[in-house]
């Protein structure tokens, strides 16, 4: 499809504000890990420093992004979330505490997802309309999510390359897929490092910064070539560090100067899709 302003592709900058959750969860698996302070400090950087730096870069290029935030981080940092929303960005669902576990049954999983929505409502005054999972969910949960659950798009790791109606077990839902291919668009995977516990496992080298940067550009070029849309999983704990912020700024400049790609938050892409493809009532 042709996107807004005649663009061939649409792209949504996505930021996973995970804070310390991933680090804390990993440390808890080690003896005495609940008192460790080094690993979690890497995650804390994202909330303490990285977010503000990313917000300034987005303002500089007048870009609206989607922030996928675990509900626990929202509870603990309501002022940070307030600032993100005040600057026109979107808040989206990213689990409660970034554990992979959503519950054993669809009822449990739906209750878990709703519990996060209530946190958003209480602390940020909004419910999420977009979903990026931190673990797997049952097909029944997914059907609810994208049909009656109030979620109008999903933006998950490996979900195909098409920006189109999400199907669950062959059945069309009312929500649209905004792909986000991990190894191309996840800066955490590309340049995170720690030794205890090892992140990533096996301690591969931190990539030359131009490698992920060129992957981002190549992915956007692919979207333009095939007329699709997609998002990224950038992490303020990575993207907000001084050198990576330089790379993020370069990427935003590339996006801003490229008329072939329309950039906005995931929800804007989803709504534009609905305007041109119907409201999802597939009668």
Partner 1 sequence: MSKDRMRWPEGKSCAVMISVNLEAEYFAKMYYPDENIDLATGEVAALGWEGMTFGLPKILDALDAHNIKATFFVLAAVADKYPDAIKEIAIRGHEIGCHGYYHENLALLSIAEQRSVLKRAIDRLEEVSGKKVKGFRMPEGEMTEETLNIVKDLGFTYSSSLSDDDVPYLREESQIIELPIHWELYDLPYFVYTWDPQIPQGQSRSANANDVLENWKIELEGALKYGTLFNLQLDPQATGEQGRIFILEELLDIVAQNEKIWIATGEEIASYFEVSQDN
Binding site for partner 1 (CB under 8 A): 27, 30-33, 35-42, 44-45, 48-49, 52-53, 55-56, 83, 87, 191, 193-196, 198, 200-206, 208-210, 241-247
Q: Write down the least CB distance from residue 136 to partner 1, Å.
A: 25
Name the residue nearer to partner 1 (CB basis): 43 or 130: 43
Place of tokens 């059907």: 143
| Nearest to partner 1 of 38, 276 (CB atom) | 38
Cα–Cα distances in Å, from 86 out to 90, 124, 166? 10, 10, 30
Q: What separation in angstroms does the CA of 207 have from each of 190, 219, 238?
A: 6, 17, 13
Whose Cβ is closer to partner 1: residue 247's or residue 265's?
A: 247
- Pick between residue 6 and residue 205 the one whose CB is nearest to partner 1: 205
Tokens of 185: 């668009």
Residue of 108, 132, 129 lying closest to 120 (CA atoms)? 129
**Token pair belonging to 69:** 């935030």
Q: What is the smallest separation between the CB atom of 90 and partner 1, expressed in angstroms? A: 18
Residue whose tokens read 């096996």: 202
The least CB distance from residue 126 to partner 1, in Å, is: 19
Give start and end residues of each alpha helix (H) in the chain. 21-27, 38-45, 51-60, 71-76, 78-86, 106-124, 139-147, 182-185, 187-191, 210-226, 236-239, 242-257, 266-277
Q: How far is the CB of 244 from partner 1 (least distance, A)?
A: 8
Give residue for tokens 């808890």. 28
Q: Which is nearer to partner 1, 19 or 230 (CB)?
A: 19
CA distances from 136 to 132, 156, 223 (A): 10, 10, 26
Minimum CB distance to partner 1, residue 102 (Å) = 29
Q: Which is nearer to partner 1, 52 or 256 (CB)?
A: 52
Question: Minimum Å distance from CB 209 to partner 1?
Answer: 5
Residue number, 33 or 222, with CB nearest to partner 1: 33
**Smallest distance from partner 1 to CB 91, Å:** 17
Distance CA 181, CA 149 (A): 24
Q: Which of 43, 134, 50 is nearest to 93 (CA)?
A: 134
């Amino acid at each position: 499809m042709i996107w807004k302003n005649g663009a061939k592709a649409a792209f949504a900058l996505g930021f996973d504000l995970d804070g310390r959750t991933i680090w804390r969860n990993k440390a808890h698996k080690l003896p005495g890990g609940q008192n460790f302070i080094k690993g979690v400090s890497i995650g804390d950087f994202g909330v303490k420093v990285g977010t503000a730096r990313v917000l300034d870069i987005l303002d500089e290029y007048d870009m609206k992004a989607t922030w996928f935030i675990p509900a626990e981080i929202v509870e603990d940092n309501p002022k940070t979330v307030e600032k993100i929303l005040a600057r026109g960005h979107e808040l989206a669902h990213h689990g409660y505490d970034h554990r992979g576990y959503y519950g054993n049954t669809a009822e449990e999983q739906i209750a878990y997802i709703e519990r996060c929505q209530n946190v958003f409502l209480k602390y940020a005054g909004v419910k999420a309309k977009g979903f990026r999972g931190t673990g797997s969910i049952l097909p029944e949960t997914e059907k609810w999510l994208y049909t009656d659950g109030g979620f109008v798009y999903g933006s998950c790791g490996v979900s195909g390359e098409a920006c189109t109606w999400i199907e669950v077990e062959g059945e069309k839902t009312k929500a649209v897929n905004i792909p986000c291919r991990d190894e191309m668009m996840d800066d955490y995977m590309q340049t995170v490092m720690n030794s205890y516990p090892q992140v990533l496992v096996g301690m591969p080298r931190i990539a030359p910064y131009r490698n992920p940067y060129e992957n981002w550009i190549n992915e956007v070029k692919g979207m333009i070539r095939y007329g699709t849309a997609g998002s990224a999983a950038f992490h303020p704990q990575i993207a907000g560090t001084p050198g990576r912020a330089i790379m993020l700024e370069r990427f935003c400049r590339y996006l801003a100067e490229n008329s072939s790609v329309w950039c906005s938050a995931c929800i804007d892409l989803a709504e534009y899709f609905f305007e041109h493809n119907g409201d999802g009532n597939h009668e």
